[in-house]
Amino acid sequence: MKSTTLSASVVALCAALASCTADQTPAFEETLVETPDVDETAAEIAEATAFVDRAEAELAALSKVTALAYWANQTNITDETDAAASEAGAKMTKLSVSLANESKKYDVDIMPYDVARKIRILRSGITIPAPSRAGAAEELSALMTDLNSTYGKGKFEYKGEMINLKGEMINLDEASTIIETSRNPDELKAVWEGWRTVSPPMKDKYAKMVALANEGAQELGYPTLDKMWLSNYDMPPEEMEAEVQRLWSQVEPLYEDLHCYARTKLNATYGDEVQPKTGPIRADLLGNMWAQQWSSIYDIVKPDTAPVSYDLTTRLNERGYTPVKMVETGEGFFTSLGFEPLPETFWERSMITRPEGKEVVCHASAWDLDDEEDVRIKMCTEINSEDFYTVHHELGHNFYQRAYKDQPYLYKNGAHDGFHEAIGDFVALSITPEYLEQIGLISEDEKPGPDADTALLMQTALDKIAFLPFALTVDSWRWDVLNGTTPPEDYNQAWWDLRLKNQGIVPPAPRPADAFDPGAKYHIPGNTPYLRYFLSFVMQFQFHKAACEQAGWEGPLHRCSIYGNEEVGERFNEMLEAGMSRPWPETLEKFTGTREMDASAMVEYFAPLTEYLKEQNEGQSCGWD
């Protein structure tokens, strides 16, 4: 996934302790014995309440300083901003770990709801915890900053003959453009392998970071860091892992159908020597540096049905869209639902395009620097359909952040991290032909009819369905790294074993012994948990179906747009305002009417395409074992 969110949030005595009827009143002697216990409980609750209030105040104050240091570093990578970010990160980690450790003396089972919930968030909400011993936080923060900067500054020498870049160093933006547009397999292989030369220097530092973070997690009472991450979903870690597998089982057949179809088309384009008719797909042929989304090869896999009568990238350029206008258009979608416009500071402080003369982390992200109104996005926006959708995604984070800004500090987050990622993508599902006509990007005559539905769904499936097993793979790999199942010497082999198992893809050639290919994906050196994206891709369709039902839509889900529907927007905002204050099933129920994550809406959305894929795959040897 191209985007993430970074918030400044880095992580009353009970009125009636007990009640009894007259018949239950204990004898006087028993009362004398029990009273001290009640008093002790009351005292502990009062002490814990005061502790939580202090913790929130200290974290809120320091998070503002830390967020500014991180922002300065990611929008201008220098030795000085590296040092400042590392120092700020170390302070924040120290404070978070110290408060989490301090919270362990309180028994959450006897606490009022809010106190107990906030203590649990304090204990499990640190992504990379440092041990409390002297120097550990500074060492961990320096490693994290170095990993981030190495990725952000990554360049490699490309000496291909197909483009005029001989001997020049190219960055990820330029390399990704080649992967997306080239149809020369030799060039694709060279650029794919070239980007992966930036990550081997990360491997040893990454392993050190993992060891330190696991030590920190164990100090907080978790057996390993993966279990700490999985403790953030209002259920035991083992149940959450089972929930992920249940959701994947609902959508796995969709992916297998798409894989089979795409492989047949790639074989027809490149021939048996490049892409065989059976087995896995060569990763560099799929139009994305990580083979996580395949929309860039639509020209290869487009169905033999009525085509979509417009190209969104072409239309954006023809209509004179600039990066700022793309962001303004995304904002306009949210305001059409009744949300307040973004503050003026958003436009003054965001990084919407790559600045000249600076090294930056171009990976798109949304920021909340003060937990109030200072929301921003960071993108190297280009005028194309991919970034048009990404803008809507990132603004979803910002509008979510503003919706819960009045919550206490520890509740200023999504109901779980999948909610945060799903919000903007749910809105982007309403970027339908009807919506594009409403905002003047296409004319009424250009709006495709029902006969183009297969083509429309194929475009969406290449992003949404293709992404699911990749999302599953990233954290499946990382969980095994964090719990020690995969040692450093096996990092790369384990990565490709999972990519073959889940995605049915392989590298274009054997990988060198020192390869650290996971590090070539931002979310690994950036330490961004990835399960959130898998969950969000399921939930966005669940949100979309619920919203369309609220709007009274009666057509196919893929044609529904909620643009301009303030009634839906009001219910949507109620869900967002809750932040992390309630267990996510309650928050989910506010908008969808159900307490369970469910992929059936996704299956329903793509049902017409599924029928087409099965017809096209008839007689093919699907699968890749």
Task: Please state the residue numbers annotated as binding site.
Answer: 233, 393, 397, 421, 532
- Find where tokens 């309440």 sit: 49
Task: Give the integer Cα–Cα distance in Å for 93 and 138.
Answer: 9
Task: Give the integer Cα–Cα distance in Å for 400 and 414.
Answer: 8
- For residue 268 the two structure tokens come to 């027809």
Task: Give the integer Cα–Cα distance in Å for 242 and 233.
Answer: 12
Biggest CA–CA distance in the chain, Å, is 94
Q: What does DSSP assign to residue 104?
A: T
Q: Quick count: other Cβ atoms within 10 Å of Cβ 485?
A: 12
Under 8 Å between Cβ of 109 and 86: no
β pairing state of 168-171 and 375-378: unpaired
Three-state DSSP at 14 gives coil
Under 8 Å between Cβ of 525 and 198: no
In 3D, which of 598, 570, 571, 567 has the Cα closest to residue 585?
A: 598
Strand partners, 170: 156
Active site residue 523: yes
Apex CA 242: angle with CA 240 and CA 244, to 5°? 70
β pairing state of 168-171 and 155-158: antiparallel
Under 8 Å between Cβ of 111 and 123: no
Burial class of residue 613, CB neighbours in 10 A (0-12, 13-18, 19+): buried
Task: Give the integer Cα–Cα distance in Å for 126 and 68.
Answer: 19
Task: Give the integer Cα–Cα distance in Å for 602 and 252.
Answer: 11
Task: Give the integer Cα–Cα distance in Å for 457 and 368.
Answer: 34
Task: Give the integer Cα–Cα distance in Å for 233 and 246.
Answer: 15
Task: Give the integer Cα–Cα distance in Å for 11 and 9.
Answer: 5
203-219 vs 453-482: helix axis angle to the nearest 10? 70
Dihedral, 177, 179, 183, 188 alpha carbons, nearest 10: 130
237-270 vs 453-482: helix axis angle to the nearest 10? 130
Q: Which of 259, 420, 523, 558 is catalytic?
A: 523
| Annotated binding-site positions for chloride | 233, 532
Strand partners, 378: 351, 365
| Annotated binding-site positions for Zn(2+) | 393, 397, 421
Tally of CA atoms within 13 A in the half-sphere of 271 that contains its CB = 4
The alpha carbon of 137 is separated from its chain's Cα centroid by a whole number of angstroms, namely 26
- Find where tokens 């793509």 sit: 606
- For residue 344 the two structure tokens come to 């003026």
Three-state DSSP at 378 gives strand
Q: What is the DSSP string of 213-265?
A: HHHHHHHTT-SSHHHHHGGGSSS-HHHHHHHHHHHHHHHHHHHHHHHHHHHHH
Apex CA 467: angle with CA 458 and CA 247, to 5°? 105
Active site residue 420: no
Q: Which of 394, 420, 544, 558 is catalytic?
A: 394
Residues designated catalytic: 394, 523
